[in-house]
Structure 1
Amino acid sequence: MTTTALLMIDVQRGLDDPYWGPRNNPDAESNIRALLDGWADAGQPIVLVRHDSVTEGSPLVPGKPGNAFKPELDGARPDLLFGKSVSSAFHGEVDLHAWLTRRGIDRLVLAGIQTNMCVETSARVAGSLGYDVRVALDATYTFDLEGPDGTVMTADELTRATATTLHGGGFVKVTTTAAALAELSPGRSPRG
């Protein structure tokens, strides 16, 4: 039976702050909850990652209310929970690659916030490390972003660009919450 870890990235209250600007995908939170429930029901491993910002004024600075997880993660019983201060979940307080390797986990499903930042970066690193990676795109969201020339790409445009880059570059399989849940194999979670 294949073990598939759910890597839930930066689903934090501070990402509801107007500081970030307009967002997309209002259904992301319900899809995030569906993934968590599906993984818990299947006994598959859940990893929660929290962004501990070192940027002054960020709502995600440790100790601020925005650093806490969003209500959609209430009741989640992760096999691993840790913080990071960079975009990649593989470069946080815990050596995620070593943790996964010790448990024989080579398949991951990623979801969370921001699609084109920490989710995409973590997916690329996971793909480069040889993991079989799925990104449940409808369980992510991001924000409009201004480029160096002053033009703004909308959150939807950035999400499409991320999906195209990840898919076209062969880094990962871009999927949906429903498809990720359909592929989920029930099994015992390698706790610890």
Structure 2
Amino acid sequence: MPLPALIIIDMQQGMADPAAGERNNPQAEDNIGRLLDAWRNAEAPIVHVRHISRTPGSPFWPGQQGVEFQPRFLPAPHAHVVEKNVPDSFINTGLERWLHVRGINRLVVTGVSTNNSVESTARTAGNLGFTTQVVADATFAFARDDYAGNPRSADEVHWMALANLDGEYAQVVDTAAVLTQMDV
């Protein structure tokens, strides 16, 4: 059985800026790096997703330093790069077609932020029929207020987003489980 595609969402320099706010999972980048190394060693499919903002002045506006990939997550020449303008990596990007053309029906999703681009992408993947895993310790979220105005920690935001996905749209796993499945 072919290996799933590794989807790395929005690991751009703007996400590493402390001005982005309180976040959780400080080990997320290391875990994404471990998965990326395993996929590269296995010559398995990798998709790097980059957010390109439609809002002038955004750190993710074209030409800004924040839009660039973090150095450790620079795509290799054979990796597929998807540029998106909304949180969902499938909307207006051709990602679904790219996966289908290659016969890929299983995805491992990592990146940022858990409650935004990761959750949106995983929901669509599940709805489109892809067998999807979201790697809890290879994703992270930022603190934010809930709809009632109550402050929520980055951990609360992260774990609620994962709860929204698990069993409905995706299976939530950790890095060790993914690497064990790959037998690396």
Normalising by structure 2, report the TM-score: 0.94
SS at match of 2:166: helix
What are the superposed Cα offsets for residues 150-180 of structure 1, whole Å, 9 maximum, x if unpaired?
A: 2111110011101211115x21000011111
Residue of structure 1 equivalent to 2:115 = 116
Residue of structure 2 equivalent to 1:106 = 105
Residue of structure 2 equivalent to 1:133 = 132
Higher mean C-alpha deviation, range 77-86 or range 116-125: 77-86
Q: C-alpha root-mean-square deviation of aligned residues, in Å?
A: 1.6
Higher mean C-alpha deviation, range 15-24 or range 137-146: 15-24
Correspondences of 1:140-179 after superposition (within 5 Å): 140-168=139-167, 170-179=168-177
Query: Partners in 1 of 2:135 and 2:78 — Cα distance?
Result: 18
Alpha-carbon distance change, 185 to 132 in structure 1, aligned in 2, over 3 angstroms: farther
Alpha-carbon distance change, 8 to 75 in structure 1, aligned in 2, over 3 angstroms: closer
Gaps of 5+ in 2: none
Higher RCO (CA < 8 A, seq sep 6+): 1
Identity %: 43
Alpha-carbon distance change, 37 to 8 in structure 1, aligned in 2, over 3 angstroms: same
Query: Partners in 2 of 1:108 and 1:145 — Cα distance?
Result: 28
- Do the aligned residues in 2 keep the contact of 1:27 with 1:139 (CA within 8 Å)? yes
Correspondences of 1:7-26 after superposition (within 5 Å): 7-26=7-26
- Do the aligned residues in 2 keep the contact of 1:123 with 1:172 (CA within 8 Å)? yes
Higher mean C-alpha deviation, range 9-18 or range 76-85: 76-85
Query: Partners in 1 of 2:127 and 2:97 — Cα distance?
Result: 15
- Do the aligned residues in 2 keep the contact of 1:17 with 1:59 (CA within 8 Å)? no
Q: CA deviation at 1:127?
A: 0.2
Higher mean C-alpha deviation, range 148-157 or range 45-54: 148-157
Q: CA deviation at 1:77?
A: 4.2
Alpha-carbon distance change, 147 to 68 in structure 1, aligned in 2, over 3 angstroms: same
Query: Partners in 1 of 2:164 and 2:28 — Cα distance?
Result: 20
Aligned length: 184
Gaps of 5+ in 1: 187-192
Normalising by structure 1, report the TM-score: 0.90
